Amino acid sequence: MSVIIERKIVFFLCRLAVGLLALVLIVGTVIPLLHSNAWWVRIFDFPRVQIALLTGLTLAGYVALRLYGSLGGWDYALAALVGLALVWQLISIAPYTALYPKEMSASRAEDDSNRISLLVFNVLSDNRDVAALRDLIRDTDPDIILLSEPDQWWLEQLDGLEDDYPYTLLQPQDNDYGMLLYSRLKLKDPEVRFLIDPAVPSFRAQVRLRSGSLVTFYGVHPRPPGIERPDEEQDSSREKTAGEEGEDGDRVDSDVRDAELLLIASEVKELGSVPVIVAGDFNDVAWSRTTHQFQRIGGLLDPRVGRGLLNTFDTRSRFLRYPLDYAFASRHFLLAELHRLPDIGSDHFPIFAVFDYNPESLSENDPPQPDAGDAREADEAIEEGKSND
């Protein structure tokens, strides 16, 4: 075989490989635009940064191919579509860069009587490095500690924490959805609630700041889309379908997660002018349709906007990392600090946030405004989540 023929074959194979990658990235960009709660649709919400990086490399691949040979019409068509996909992905993630205007203004207050600091951390139920967590609590000295995924072992190992954090809300569970709340600030009317999923708790309490002001606090950790259904739910699903496999198999769709988040957002809206903080492992990315709708309905600010991604999951992969853990706040607050803390043994990084309650900040912060159909869509999503649970 001549050298010329070999080069033509190699060039064709390179065009084919780049073309196939382009098709995958185009489909991966389009799928999240579908108005569907199916898990295989919603998981494409997550890798926008990764898809943006790969689309950029694909465009570079087309440029390199053009330098070494001629391209066909389908090559240029795919390159154009990949370019559009890149623009769309960059638009989606641009708010979570330092180049974008900040959604929550920075605090300049010196008085800490209206300040509240939070440590938000998914401990990973089978993680056993409790000493690292205790060290982190000592170093950060937060007012409130919200832990996701703790079981009874974690509760026992954290025995004595109540000496410094006398106000607690404790719901350890063995299904990876337990939560523990420790606070040095007084809690009023603390409650554990099972809003949508009877196996997944959420917290609500009023927190009394040092100044005496009350802040409504929500702690959340809904199920993510795409995970395997618990055995008992699989059995129930099979009974309902007379032994036939469901359309989405034995994996969890996003309807229950979305319903819980939108139900909380609706509650926040009903509270009116009350200062609110919602924190926890949302199992959703900041740029998803659900999280944006959650913010718009609740009028909640994301301190990440204009400051950075602060990816918290997964500590075990540098490439596949997403922002899943949050502390959203109403427009009554200014941001004093926001940090992603070091890896301490979980698959999540801890998040540390410090907010200043300042009623005068209402004029400084401009929360997302609800769209015309948000309330109706939220009601439909909540009803769907309740019926599908």
> Is 101 domain-assigned?
no
Tally of structural domains, the chain? 2
Residue 105 domain flag: no
- Same-domain check for residues 213 and 285: yes
**Is residue 58 domain-shared with residue 202, that is, in the same domain?**
no
Note the pLDDT of residue 366.
Answer: 82
| Lookup result for tokens 């898809």 | 51
User: Do 121 and 254 belong together in one domain?
Assistant: yes
Both 244 and 330 in one domain: the answer is yes
> What stretches in the chain show pLDDT beneath 70?
1, 3, 231-249, 389
**265 and 371 part of one domain:** yes
In this structure, what are the phi and psi dihedrals at residue 223, rounded to the nearest 5 degrees? Answer: -70, 140
Same domain, 173 and 74: no
**Does residue 172 sit in the same domain as residue 246?**
yes
Residues 86, 134 within the same domain: no
Q: What pLDDT is recorded for position 246?
A: 42
Domain boundary among 96, 123, 149: 96
274 belongs to a structural domain: yes
Q: Is the CB of residue 200 less than 8 Å from the CB of residue 194?
A: yes
Strand 214-220 with 276-281, pairing: parallel
Q: Clarify whether residues 245 and 290 are in a common domain.
A: yes
Residues 84 and 142 in one domain: no
Q: What is the dihedral of CA 6, 11, 16, 17, to 10 degrees?
A: 100
Q: What is the pTM of this model?
A: 0.92
Q: Note the pLDDT of residue 215.
A: 97
Please report where in the chains the tokens 């427009």 appear, as a residue: 331
Q: Is residue 106 part of a domain?
A: no
Q: What is the 3-state secondary structure (H, E, C) of the chain?
A: CCHHHHHHHHHHHHHHHHHHHHHHHHHHHHHHHCCCCCHHHHHHHCCHHHHHHHHHHHHHHHHHHHHHCCCCHHHHHHHHHHHHHHHHHHHHHHHHCCCCCCCCCECCCCCCCCEEEEEEEECCCCCCCHHHHHHHHHHHCCCEEEEECCCHHHHHHCCCHHHCCCEEEEECCCCCCCEEEEECCCEEEEEEECCCCCCCCEEEEEEECCCCCEEEEEEECCCCCCCECCHHHHHHHHHHCCCCCCCCCCECCCHHHHHHHHHHHHHHHHHCCCCEEEEEECCCCCCCHHHHHHHHHHCEECCCCCCCCCCCECCCCCCCCECCEEEEEECCEEEEEEEECCCCCCCECCEEEEEEECHHHHHCCCCCCCCCCHHHHHHHHHHHHHHHC
Which of 37, 64, 96 marks a domain boundary? 96
The residue segments making up the domain with residue 300 are 115-388
Residue 104 lies in a domain: no
Q: Looking at residue 352, which CATH number applies to its domain?
A: 3.60.10.10
pLDDT at 176: 95
Residue 170 lies in a domain: yes
The per-residue pLDDT for 87 is 97
> Would you state the pLDDT for residue 238?
45
Assess if residue 107 is contained within a domain.
no
Last residue of a domain, one of 39, 68, 96: 96
Asked whether residue 217 falls in the same domain as residue 162, the answer is: yes
Asked if 209 and 324 sit in the same domain, the reply is yes
Q: Cα dist. 103→29, 96, 114, 217 in Å?
A: 26, 10, 20, 20
**Domain presence at residue 263:** yes
- Express each pLDDT in 55-112 by its tens digit: 999 999 999 998 888 888 899 999 999 999 999 999 999 999 999 999 999 998 888 8
